[in-house]
Amino acid sequence: MQNTKTQDTLVGLFVACSIAALFFMAMQISNLSAFSNDKTYTIIARFENSGGLKVKSPVSVAGVRIGRVSNISIDQTRYESVVEMQIHTQYNLPDDTSASIYTAGLLGEQYISLEPGGSEDFIKPDGALDITQSAIVLEEVIGQFLFDKAAAD
């Protein structure tokens, strides 16, 4: 009888430890804690070139993450990249907000930085951002630099 009891306790401990490990993985290792089931609304922005932007890339204002990219597609008539973003509902943005694609660090991932303008009206769900700045493609910048240098000489 004593033996069964110890066995039960050990099995219970084992299961408890494992569930703690699963919880640890969900909360500490992955980003589950950062993404609670907040309600979001969609806005879109058109870029000439969205560079290395990916679905789930962060969208931030003044360095604070307020949402993420949910879809990237191409506009067949204007050949522009159409980026859909999910913004958390507690954040309202003026309707003259501008969007730029930046890179975090030299080799880091690309993200969208939003710069709010001075308008009094907020952007509506499914609205579009008109002022955008494309991703900087490193090769283009280097090419431009070399071209300017050669022209100056």
Which residues contact other proteins by CB under 8 A? 7-8, 10-11, 13-15, 17-19, 21-22, 24-26, 28-35, 56, 107
Q: Please give the DSSP secondary-structure letter assigned to residue 76.
A: T
At closest approach, how far in Å is the CB of 10 from other proteins?
A: 5
- Which CB atom, from 28 or from 76, has the smaller least distance to other proteins? 28
Look up residue 37 and give its two tokens.
Answer: 């089931």
- Which CB atom, from 62 or from 107, has the smaller least distance to other proteins? 107
- Which CB atom, from 33 or from 76, has the smaller least distance to other proteins? 33
Query: Across-strand partners of 114?
Result: 61, 99
- Which CB atom, from 19 or from 138, has the smaller least distance to other proteins? 19
Look up residue 92 and give its two tokens.
Answer: 């309202």
At closest approach, how far in Å is the CB of 15 from other proteins?
A: 7
Determine how β-strand 80-88 pairs with β-strand 110-115.
unpaired
- Burial label, 144 (beta-carbon count in 10 A; 0-12, 13-18, 19+): exposed
At closest approach, how far in Å is the CB of 110 from other proteins?
A: 14
Backbone phi, psi, residue 63, to 5°: 85, -5
At closest approach, how far in Å is the CB of 8 from other proteins?
A: 6
